[in-house]
Amino acid sequence: MSTEKLRAMANEMSAAAPSMEATRTATIIATHSVNEFVKQEGFTSVVNSVAESTTGFFVTFLNVNKPKNEQATNIWFTLNASKDLADGLLIEKGFFDNYQVVEMEYSDGEKRTKLALKGSGRYNDINDIL
């Protein structure tokens, strides 16, 4: 392939790719305790340690009552909640006590569910402080 064609392809790809400089803002749609979320989604177990990928830390929840290809759900930690995590950190009783599940919608319409530290947003759940 000629250099000109390669340059043209590279230009097309960079024009089509979203700008990394564009910042997205998120609006919190709902918050749940981890316990509420697990019951609501019907999860039956959780992988026993935190995992890390190139995009951050996550936990895998499982629902063995779903079809095989739908059983696992990865829930990512927010950046703030990730500060004290490490790949392979064991998930033991009480691990989720300081976290809440946050459903967010970004300015571009994308919706995500993440694990956030309790009280890390602008408001605290009244049940967490009373």
**Coil, strand or helix at 22:** coil
CA 47 – CA 107 distance, rounded (Å): 32
pTM of the model: 0.71
Between 6 and 40, whose confidence is greater?
40
Contact 94, 120 (CB under 8 A): no
Residue range 85-114, pLDDT digits in tens: 999 999 999 999 999 999 988 888 889 999
Question: Six-digit token pair at 90?
Answer: 């064991």
